[in-house]
Amino acid sequence: MPTTFTFEIDWTNTGVWVDESANVFAARIQIGMEPGAALESVVAHVGTCTLTLDNATQRYSPDNASGPLYGNLLPRRPVRVRASDGVSTWMLFRGYVQQIAPQAGPQGRRQAIITCVDALALLRSARISMDLQQNKRADQLIAGIVNLALGAPAASGTLTFSANPASGDSVTIAGTTYTFRTTLTPAAYEVKIGATREDTAANLKAAINSESGYGTLYASGTLRLPGIVASLSANVLTVTATLPGAAGNSYTLAKNSSAITLSGSTFSGGADYPTGLTSYAAGNESLAIAADRWIAARTLALDAVEEATRTEQGRFFVQRDGTLTFYERRRFFKPLVSALALNTDPFELDAAQGIGNVWNVVKVTSYPRATVGALDVLARASTVMRIPPRTPTGPGMRTVSLHFRDSAGNVIGGTGLALPLVGGTDYTVNDRPDGTGFDYTSSPAFAFGTLDVRGSEIVIPMLNYATGPLYVTKLQVRGQAITTYDPVTQTQEDAASQAAYLKRVLTVDLPLSADEVYGEALACYLLDRYKAPFTEVRHVIICNEPVIGSVNVFSINLFDVLSLTDAQTGLSGLRCYVTGIDLDITARHFTLTLHTTRADDRIYWNLETTGYGELGTNTRLAV
């Protein structure tokens, strides 16, 4: 049966898809990895779909007040493109409207160009930073980055104080137990019982956030509850995961007190975005430290994703159906199963053997981190900060972000912060900008809001309850510096290949890894695979042939495997990964271009896989 293409846009952003197919003259879709960059490209380029539509009736003119879509011709409206043979339907693209450009003027063609992008465009434009991440896999880091960038909801729970707890009562939050005491002892994680239930709840909030309590300082940052922030409304304490997403739903809540009621045994409400469109394979190792150099002012979410993906040596992309997808590295060592075999079928093949894929010197660099034991100044404000006076509705407020830096001004990570900040040591407050006048440093007229501690910076809200402006000077934050000391480079060379092709150097960075053994293994593997030239199939072109064999070509996904046999080049059963898909559609014609990279078809040992799980002469260990 003939293939039918459907072009739909959710103009109202309510899940109601409007079929615009009758007005589409042409479409061009491009998704996947950068063509020709098999080793360098671990994160896909932003996928695009460009629609050319009939605009004779001004349907797609955003400023046409009488048009049927007026007021809804806006960017970020969901878009999808599908193909159907009358029995099965396949998604070809899913994304968002980026731009609507009606061709205008008396000589215009009365057409409109709608440019659409996939979810990677959202990550490319969002800037992020997060609290220090320790012992997290690449997929966990990626989930957190994406959720931050897309504004996903964070998991939370509540503790309601119906009365004052008794001395010795306790609550456990995400595995940390806080014990209530009438008189505090030197033990960690104790909370002073206040005069009222509200006072006690406020003391628990202070203990969780490492803030000043009611007459008690809950210090230091080493006792701050990691990954959790607390807020208070009357007698209800809300604890919220600092990192949005479904992962926070696993945080537990428990109590040993009849005076406290919990919202549940775990946090709830966390969700991964985009909803139902994520697929992250579990990474192969836990990375000791991450997010120590990500600053909200300059770190793009997609760059942070790339660091995690490159360290894992996996791949991150948007599948044709719009799913944000992460593949871990060992997926590429598993037995290859071909999704489509091409031999005598009508297709065009672009294959070449050359020096471009020969590498006989491989350098893999890892970046070990070290935590400095002694407290030092990690961040310092360079200016005097004016806090506006209180208003009829509340205190005056100013928020400042301080970046952690070393003595040379380089961005570093920080941990074990000395919190709460100490008046006279970490800041002074006066009613004059030169630091003179009345000293408000210890006055209740000045206070800090809840500090937002991140891996490379701290966000500090400052509150002024006085009737005039206050000036904060000498603001600093002390803690333990996380430094990246001398990078470690593992080098592997092949003399025979160098004699034949001269030196060809491949450099690979593992920005979040401190594992020298992994770096050496990766260098050995890459040298073994790329020291000799081989025929690389760069792309396959299929024109107006929707079915090859029994397989519909529109069912092929990114990183499916093709098996290629071609008499002209002498290739037989060569297997390649589909790394990119281009599709051009007109009223009577389509051209499908599958960009490919050669798969490693040697037999590797795969645990619990029959025929591949036994060590022998035909199997080898993967990286």
Q: Is the pLDDT of residue 64 over 70?
A: yes
Residue 388 gets the label, from left (phi > 0), alpha (psi -120 to 50) or beta, of beta
Residue 262: helix, strand or coil by DSSP? Answer: strand
- Residues 450-476 have a mean pLDDT of 95
The pLDDT > 70 percentage for the chain reads 94
Contacts for 32-35: CB closer than 8 Å, 24+ residues apart: 32/317, 32/558, 32/578, 32/579, 32/580, 32/581, 32/595, 33/315, 33/317, 33/579, 33/580, 33/595, 34/580, 35/538, 35/539, 35/579, 35/580, 35/595
Which of the pair, 316 or 418, is modelled with greater confidence?
A: 316
Q: Does domain 4-118 have CATH number 2.60.40?
A: no
Residue 348 has phi, psi (to 5 degrees) of -110, 140
Tell me, what's the pLDDT at 221? 44
Record the tokens describing residue 202, joined without a space: 């406020």
Tell me, what's the pLDDT at 282? 96
pLDDT interval class at 40 (50, 70, 90): confident
Task: Sketch the domain layout of the chain as residue ranges.
Answer: 4-118, 125-150+273-329, 156-262, 371-484
Residue 135: helix, strand or coil by DSSP? Answer: strand
**How far apart are alpha carbons 311 and 547 in whole angstroms?**
39
- Residues 252-259 have a mean pLDDT of 96
Tell me, what's the pLDDT at 607? 59
Which range, 143-152, 562-571, 594-603, has the best average confidence (pLDDT)? 143-152
Q: Is the pLDDT of residue 606 over 90?
A: no
Give the strand pairing for 190-192 and 176-181.
parallel
Give the strand pairing for 24-32 and 571-585.
antiparallel
- Residues 329-341 have a mean pLDDT of 92
Which residue type is seen at 240? Answer: T
- Residues 224-247 have a mean pLDDT of 94
Tens digits of residue pLDDT in 296-313: 999 999 999 999 999 999
Determine contact, residues 512/312, Cβ cutoff 8 Å. no
Averaged pLDDT score across all residues of the chain: 92
> Closest Cα partner for 280 from 300, 309, 304?
309
- Residues 509-523 have a mean pLDDT of 93
**How far apart are alpha carbons 509 and 507 in whole angstroms?**
7
Tell me, what's the pLDDT at 344? 80
Q: Is the pLDDT of residue 619 over 70?
A: no
Task: Specify the CATH number of the domain 125-150+273-329.
Answer: 3.55.50.10
Q: Is the pLDDT of residue 28 over 90?
A: yes
Tens digits of residue pLDDT in 337-375: 999 999 987 889 999 999 999 999 999 999 998 888 889
Q: Is the pLDDT of residue 623 over 60?
A: no
Tens digits of residue pLDDT in 192-223: 999 999 999 999 999 999 887 655 666 544 56
**How far apart are alpha carbons 318 and 542 in whole angstroms?**
22
Provide the strand spans (E) within 314-360: 315-318, 324-327, 338-342, 348-353
Q: How many residues are there in the chain?
A: 623
**How far apart are alpha carbons 377 and 570 in whole angstroms?**
66
Q: Is the pLDDT of residue 36 over 90?
A: no
3-state per-residue secondary structure call for 145-160 = HHHHHHCCCCCEEEEE
Contacts for 435-443: CB closer than 8 Å, 24+ residues apart: 435/384, 435/471, 435/473, 435/474, 440/466, 440/470
Tell me, what's the pLDDT at 101? 96
Tell me, what's the pLDDT at 220? 45
- Residues 64-82 have a mean pLDDT of 97
> Closest Cα partner for 349 from 567, 539, 565, 534?
539
Say whether 125-150+273-329 and 4-118 share the same fold. Answer: no
**How far apart are alpha carbons 525 and 505 in whole angstroms?**
14
How far CA 533 is from CA of 354, 507, 530, 603, in Å, comes to 6, 18, 7, 20
Tell me, what's the pLDDT at 384? 95
